[in-house]
Structure 1
């Protein structure tokens, strides 16, 4: 049975979902999600003999939302994970992340390898530090309308997503996306086609959870993660060309849109002990929801190798 509780971590109160006993596994959600995005993983991984903990990360769900943009850097996010491992009384842990949670997982393994038994990323691969500030590279390649640049404008994306939160999540979770480059006069959601009927892996109750969560939290905390992309590049300069040393694993849906702007060819350069790369045929970005049995089996296979 999943238990929700609040843990004091790194100067904030973090709400976690927890189940099981055994080696610690942390599941880090992405944007715009909460711990609910791991609803098909928590039970099966716990039943397989692991203590599974999925937090609402900084700025999301019932976890605290600091006011300053600068309080959402990668160092803060990794600090939250480190603090959570310590608060749970476990070390080292297996750290798994999806979407934005994947870079947090990769950087936790990079910065604190002593606390990480193994690290797995879903959707976003491990990557070496960029040769220049990332937003400048994205502008040069995709133009000013690339969604990560669109998200830099204070209040703009918040107003778009908050205008009708239910419609926002029906579109983001259930829709299909074109190239994520916002055209003049458009919003980010205009890049998506929303089906009349949601996919069979997405229940109305799941949309309800998302609506209730983001009505409470708003969107600014999560968007602040994007607003630190260049600041992260500056802060992580001491680790330029450093490699992730704990055992690593990568999984991605075959049709994940992030493939258009991430470089999976550099994984071996970024991770010294890359133990597996899995493409889930026919799956999209929300692969852990679309194909939970395959994702769970793959993760347990990786966990068993550690």
Structure 2
């Protein structure tokens, strides 16, 4: 932690917060929801110590980075603008990007639009954007008629913002636990339509857990208590806009070198990417370099298995070659 430097900049119309450590080729770490730069806390120092310049931003609308209330400002073109603006601010032509969840999709989209700025992608958990003839929010609404669906719950402004904002500690504790290997996340689908997300999520043992301390949980609670959840929820509300944008990718494979790290108990791999998604990586990427799966970890893999995750990332970075 002693090596972390917190920085702030005006980028693409946003007040952006990011953490930086180290010198050398640039590695950018992109988080999803409900995460922060802090979700990479176990990876930043070791990667920097290995000879890299590591930057972990708070993504649009989350943590210390501002974001509009209008969900239409969270589509692909805006997110790609955020990331290219960050590279320009850092004075970097390109970087290796690693991302989880929405963070991986940000790198995925950047590689389609500006492949010259992406030396490689190290994807965590979400292997690709799954193409569909039905928009994501339409699909979620259809599923929500049968059982609880968190994407549908998030889709309409109002209730979710209020519910999560009224109980940030309970929500974050429950969702982190539910997404970990300590719980089977898809069991939330057993809850009936109309259930709130907090009620759909499981009860948890008291914190600390073996991968999350009280102080670490409080870091997230404090950040989202200050920012609210609307910025993060807007990434979901923009999913149909992003789906429309990505239709232009049809028939084109992502052109940059791609590495993948998954976990055997990840909810996304089980529920959102079809049968055997790892066998279909070559349908989505021109250059799949390596695939690793970690045992005894869920969607919170950077925290649940920090040493294994970091070691695999370092191996992939070493194999990516030099870049400016």
TM range (shorter): over 0.9
- TM-score norm. by structure 2 comes to 0.89
Superposition pairs for residues 252-263 of structure 1, below 5 Å? 252-259=262-269, 260-263=271-274
SS in 2 for 1:41: helix
Aligned counterpart, 1:68 = 70
CA distance in 1, matches of 2:10, 2:317: 27
Aligned counterpart, 2:173 = 170
Cα RMSD (Å) of the superposition?
A: 1.7
CA distance in 1, matches of 2:281, 2:145: 26
Deviations 1:182-210 (A, max 9, x none): 52342112332232233211010111111
1:216 to 223, 226, 231: 226
Aligned counterpart, 2:303 = 289
Contact 1:128–1:269 (Cα < 8 Å) also in 2: no
Superposition pairs for residues 69-88 of structure 1, below 5 Å? 69-88=71-90
CA distance in 1, matches of 2:134, 2:167: 37
Q: How far has the Cα of 1:142 moved from its partner?
A: 6.5
CA distance in 2, matches of 1:110, 1:143: 35
Superposition pairs for residues 16-27 of structure 1, below 5 Å? 16-27=18-29
Contact 1:127–1:267 (Cα < 8 Å) also in 2: no
CA distance in 2, matches of 1:45, 1:184: 44
Aligned counterpart, 1:51 = 53
CA distance in 1, matches of 2:16, 2:94: 20
1:179 to 153, 175, 187: 187
Deviations 1:133-176 (A, max 9, x none): 23334445664632111211211211221222111111111343
Q: How far has the Cα of 1:127 moved from its partner?
A: 3.4
Aligned counterpart, 2:257 = 247
Q: How far has the Cα of 1:33 moved from its partner?
A: 1.1
SS in 2 for 1:245: strand
1:270 aligns with 2:279: no
CA distance in 1, matches of 2:283, 2:58: 31
Deviations 1:207-243 (A, max 9, x none): 1111110111100010000001111122233222221
CA distance in 2, matches of 1:304, 1:234: 36
SS in 1 for 2:216: helix
Superposition pairs for residues 100-179 of structure 1, below 5 Å? 100-127=102-129, 129-140=131-142, 143=145, 145-175=148-178, 176=183, 177-179=185-187
CA 69–269 in structure 1, closer or farther in 2 if over 3 Å, else same:
same
Aligned counterpart, 2:203 = 194
SS in 2 for 1:193: coil
Q: How far has the Cα of 1:53 moved from its partner?
A: 0.2
CA 137–267 in structure 1, closer or farther in 2 if over 3 Å, else same:
farther
5+ residue gaps, structure 1, are none
Q: Which moved more, 1:217-226 or 1:240-249?
A: 240-249
Contact 1:33–1:210 (Cα < 8 Å) also in 2: yes
CA distance in 2, matches of 1:185, 1:213: 28
Aligned counterpart, 2:96 = 94
CA distance in 1, matches of 2:164, 2:192: 17
Aligned counterpart, 2:317 = 303
Q: Which moved more, 1:140-149 or 1:13-22?
A: 140-149
